[in-house]
Structure 1
Amino acid sequence: MVDTLRQYIDSNQKMFQKLMTKYVLTLDIPEQLRKSMLYSLEAGGKRLRPVLLLASFEAYSTEINKTYSSALALEMIHTYSLIHDDLPAMDDDDFRRGLPTNHKVFGEATAILAGDALLTYSFEIIANDPLLTDKEKVYCLNQLSRASGPSGMVGGQILDMEAENQTVTIEKLEKIHALKTGELLKFAVTAGAYLGNATEEQISHLRDYAYYLGLIFQVQDDILDVIGDQEKLGKAVGSDESNDKSTYPKLLGLDGAIEMKSYYTEKALTLLEKANAHTSKLLELTNYVSERDH
């Protein structure tokens, strides 16, 4: 099962990478901007969000080509957020995925513009998809803009910044990560199900499932920052502690964080069953997110 999942992730990673590169290469834009966009898009990564969207769709339908525009848009938005997160005004990181961060290679101004370009181009990709109905386009554009905007990822980012040098409650920490990380994962899972013609009840269960999946992802991130392998992670470990960030291990201890992750995982798997998606790749991906080492 592990090998099959690994093959599923790897094959879809390669497919999404080729498509993203193809889309950017077709643009008539300044070459330096293109290079900066492609630098971060081609730097690797798990491609977890587009893979989740595809897996959610496949739990209910088979015509996967109608998922591609939303999956690519989602990954471009995630990539833009990483470029901006790494800037000196934010996390001030020198490396991402084992490579110098975008602003270290292209300068801060170009990095900012590359992030802006990826964000805005993502919506154009969905709007121009001939395989989607007008109703499907409106749904995906509405949900993705909400997930990535002030009520979602951007709101979570500023809450995360405000929480630095403070000790926050578990409830506040969950809110931060439900917005910063969870909203894009929520879009992946619900948009995939919607395009696959899942019922409203199934989508509702999957929305709740994705909430816990986002928290699982973040707990494991926090754990890896304590005990992870720097070479596998492609970035320095211990940065959360040095930046005085509130994390699950800081609030609960390492064992408490692992226990909390198990609680979230149990909740997520129960909701997958309610959504009648417990025999899909989503089940394996949940365990993968919980146990990943990078």
Structure 2
Amino acid sequence: MLKAYLAEKKELVERNLQKILERYEKPELYSEAMKYAVMNGGKRLRPILMYMMCDLFGKKYEAIEDIACALEFIHCYSLVHDDLPAMDNDMYRRGKLTTHVKYGEAEGILVGDVLLTEAFNIVANSSAVSDSNKVKIIAKLSEYSGFYGMAGGQFVDMKSEHVKVSFETLKYIHAHKTGKLLTAAIELPLIALDIEEDKREKLVQYSKLIGIAYQIKDDILDIEGDFSETGKESNDEKNEKTTYPSLFGLEKSKEILEDYITQAKEIIIENFDSNRILMDLTDYFGKRGG
């Protein structure tokens, strides 16, 4: 059921991304590189989470489609910049050459810049979202992608290379670098759909748990994963990054991962009638291969 759902919604997300990307024409090489960075594969989990929120509350998709594309633009920008020589210096992303390797380092920086900037433009000009909700969504999107969100987590992550960091610092990195955009994927559609505060709070709590679980699984895949499945080569060992396995060992990391998955599922069981898709998704976060 989940596999078919993810495939169906991924196709929908990518159609919407293509429509938005068609707006960008000249300079042609800039447009091409931008499209390459966005349409270079990927699971589209963040925008798909937004569609799940619509389905959970029986709402139509129109209200969240632009926001879903905007969030995916920000996610793709973060990957382009994360791959740069000054950051992780990766050659491959999703099994293909990274944007800066294919188009050039300066070009990669500018592709990331435009994806971040245009994300806010997409939300600001959406006809499907009320003006009052646009303000709330843009404020949250700025927070979750900026100093107190993904960028802040990335900064601490970069400064933590070649040093052994504490568990508290590792949790901060995971909660901000990865977790904040997953929270955005759940919280932003709830704002757009005017879902009541108590349900929003429960789902935000859920998002934080699966965000940490997602990163722990990433750490495990860096050891156990295969390039053919993950589509990237890990530089964590070379950069001497602290990870859950380096702090706790592989088996204990798997136990911690399972605990987060269990906590997340309890929220869905107790508050959302054991929603099947969300329960399956939670299991997926703990079992995914790439």
Tell me whether the two structures share a fold, i.e. TM-score over 0.5. Answer: yes
Contact 1:164–1:243 (CA under 8 A) maintained in structure 2: yes
CA distance in 2, matches of 1:27, 1:168: 43
In the alignment, which residue of structure 2 is the partner of 1:39?
36
- CA RMSD between the two structures: 1.3
Structure 1 pair 190–278 and aligned structure 2 pair: CA distance change class (3 A): farther
Runs of 4+ in 1 over 3 A off after TM superposition: none
Which structure 1 residue ranges, 5 or more long, are not aligned? none
Contact 1:53–1:71 (CA under 8 A) maintained in structure 2: yes
SS, match of residue 12 in structure 1: helix
How far does residue 280 in structure 1 lie from its aligned partner after superposition? Answer: 4.9
How far does residue 196 in structure 1 lie from its aligned partner after superposition? Answer: 3.1
CA distance in 2, matches of 1:76, 1:182: 16
Contact 1:212–1:265 (CA under 8 A) maintained in structure 2: yes
How far does residue 277 in structure 1 lie from its aligned partner after superposition? Answer: 6.1
In the alignment, which residue of structure 1 is the partner of 2:56?
59
Correspondence 1:74 to 2:71: yes
**How do 1:84-233 and structure 2 match up within 5 A?**
84-233=81-230
CA distance in 1, matches of 2:158, 2:271: 35
SS, match of residue 218 in structure 1: helix
Contact 2:95–2:227 (CA under 8 A) maintained in structure 1: no
CA distance in 2, matches of 1:252, 1:128: 47
Correspondence 1:259 to 2:255: yes
Contact 1:93–1:101 (CA under 8 A) maintained in structure 2: yes
CA distance in 2, matches of 1:280, 1:34: 40
CA distance in 1, matches of 2:271, 2:182: 16
Contact 1:61–1:197 (CA under 8 A) maintained in structure 2: no
Contact 1:59–1:277 (CA under 8 A) maintained in structure 2: no
Contact 2:81–2:87 (CA under 8 A) maintained in structure 1: yes
Contact 1:201–1:275 (CA under 8 A) maintained in structure 2: no
Contact 1:217–1:289 (CA under 8 A) maintained in structure 2: yes
1:163 counterpart letter in structure 2:
S
Aligned-pair identity in percent equals 38
Residues 145-169 of structure 1, C-alpha deviation per residue, up to 9 Å, x if partnerless? 1100111000000110111112222
How far does residue 286 in structure 1 lie from its aligned partner after superposition? Answer: 1.3
Contact 2:25–2:31 (CA under 8 A) maintained in structure 1: no
Contact 1:59–1:193 (CA under 8 A) maintained in structure 2: no
1:256 counterpart letter in structure 2:
K
Contact 1:60–1:193 (CA under 8 A) maintained in structure 2: no
Structure 1 pair 274–203 and aligned structure 2 pair: CA distance change class (3 A): farther
Residues 81-118 of structure 1, C-alpha deviation per residue, up to 9 Å, x if partnerless? 00000000100111111111101111011111111111
1:63 counterpart letter in structure 2:
K
Which structure 2 residue ranges, 5 or more long, are not aligned? none
SS, match of residue 76 in structure 2: helix
CA distance in 1, matches of 2:277, 2:194: 17
CA distance in 2, matches of 1:103, 1:27: 19
CA distance in 2, matches of 1:67, 1:274: 26
Alignment match of 1:291 (pick from 252, 270, 287): 287
CA distance in 1, matches of 2:215, 2:150: 13
The total of aligned residue pairs comes to 290
2:202 counterpart letter in structure 1:
H
How far does residue 13 in structure 1 lie from its aligned partner after superposition? Answer: 1.0
TM-score by length of 2: 0.96
Structure 1 pair 57–280 and aligned structure 2 pair: CA distance change class (3 A): farther
1:194 counterpart letter in structure 2:
I
Range 278-287 or range 197-206, more displaced? 278-287
Correspondence 1:246 to 2:242: yes
Contact 2:67–2:123 (CA under 8 A) maintained in structure 1: yes
Contact 2:206–2:267 (CA under 8 A) maintained in structure 1: yes
CA distance in 1, matches of 2:270, 2:144: 24
In the alignment, which residue of structure 1 is the partner of 2:275?
279
Correspondence 1:268 to 2:259: no
SS, match of residue 215 in structure 1: helix
TM-score by length of 1: 0.95
